[in-house]
Chains A and B, each alone.
Chain A
Amino acid sequence: MSRGERLSGERVPRRRLTEGLGEHYQRGYVAALLVMLAALLYPITGWQAIDDLATFGLLVLIGVPILAVCRVGATALVCRDRSLALIAAGILALLALAVLVPVLLSGGR
């Protein structure tokens, strides 16, 4: 099967997209809330591990919408939705650029 046949331009059903993303966002919300609430204990306990947990929690939170795009891209590939797969790939490339541009502007530091 050629690449063109694998990505033949079908469209992912909208309901399938929103249901999958809804579950993803709900799990992300619960995970981020639990970690952030645990991080609030730091001012009381002063434990360094909880401070690190707060950093991890923020990364989890920022990762939720980014992983949602990965999920959309994977669903699009499974359903052979070429246009949606390209859109997801484009967004991920731009997000990679968001990381790289500040590094390049600061001279690689």
Chain B
Amino acid sequence: MIEPLGLSALLYTLTGICAGLLGAVLGLGGGVLTVPVLTLLLGVPPHMAVAASLVGVVATSVSSSAGYLHRDLPLVRTGLILVMMTVVGAIIGSLVAGYLSGEAIFVLFSVLLLYTAVNMWRGRRVREIEGDPDAYAVTPLALAGAGAAGCISGSLGVGGGVLNVPVLNILLGAPIHRSTSTSTFMMGLTAAAGCVAYFMRGELLISLAAPLVAGVLIGARLGPRVAVAIEPTGIRRAFVFVLIFVAIRMSWGVFS
């Protein structure tokens, strides 16, 4: 039930708007922002934050995919083949997360944040060669990478784009704009599969997820307009330091 207290709903909505905006500007799913803000700033238990974040990922995917599909960017067939593995990974990840303590989720999330920060600082090693969009052969290594992305998504409440985009771009050779859009298209299904396990365990709180999702839906639509008006490189560099700070802060609470 949604608590009839407007302030927390307003804070969740604002968190969702920021996650949607930042996701669109920096090309992230939004989960790397949502989970730390909910747990560290708003005091939400880790499992519930992960569950709400997963619904936010679905919202980001639905909002962004509508635009990408109209521009014919996602590799639907290739994406769906990979989704079979990400869904398996998400089921395993969300079940495993049920047995993890809050501290373990914090430590694993810190590692993920540091990996994302390093990737953002170095910049992506990308291929830009446009091939036949129907001719990307899915390799066993790519399937394994997609499975790992699904597992991370299901257990930590993120989109899994940090692995899916390199899988599509570097392993399969799809251009970066197609890789990003295909990853966004895939993460909706992956996160939807992960949501189910949390819902069945009663960890998906409507009072938390509903305002968060409303914010994400608004922020993800505003994001592309904001993105063309600002210089993303400076924000990207600043966000790297934020990620490192948050990673240290999350681990500090566990080890101190």
Interface residues of A (CB under 8 A from B): 11, 14-15, 17-19, 21-22, 25-26, 28-29, 32-33, 36-37, 39-40, 42-44, 46, 50-51, 54-55, 57-58, 61-62, 64-66, 68-69, 72, 84, 87-88, 90-91, 94-95, 97-99, 101-103, 105-106
Contact = CB atoms under 8 A, between A and B. Distances in A.
Interface string B43-63: 000000000000100110111
A71 to B, nearest CB: 11
Interface residues of B, number: 55
A87 B217 contact: no
Nearest to A17: B76
A62 B77 contact: no
A91 B90 CA distance: 12
Interface of B: 1-6, 9-10, 13, 55, 58-59, 61-63, 65-66, 69-70, 72-74, 76-77, 80-81, 83-84, 87-88, 90-91, 94-95, 133-134, 188-189, 192-197, 200-201, 204, 206, 209-211, 213-214, 217-218
A20 to B, nearest CB: 9
A37 B134 CA distance: 39
Contact of B69 (A21, A58, A95): A21
Given A19-B69, A36-B217, 14 more contacts: A15-B72, A26-B66, A28-B66, A29-B62, A29-B63, A32-B62, A39-B214, A42-B4, A43-B9, A58-B204, A61-B58, A65-B62, A72-B76, A98-B94
A77 to B, nearest CB: 15
B9 A40 contact: yes
Given A46-B4, A106-B200, A94 B217 contact: no
A90 B69 CA distance: 22
Tell me whether chain B's interface is mostly helix, strand or loop, or mixed.
helix
A33 B201 CA distance: 26
Contact of A54 (B195, B196, B206): B206
B176 to A, nearest CB: 18
Contacts of B74: 18
B80 A88 contact: yes
A87 B69 CA distance: 19
Contact of B214 (A28, A37, A91): A37
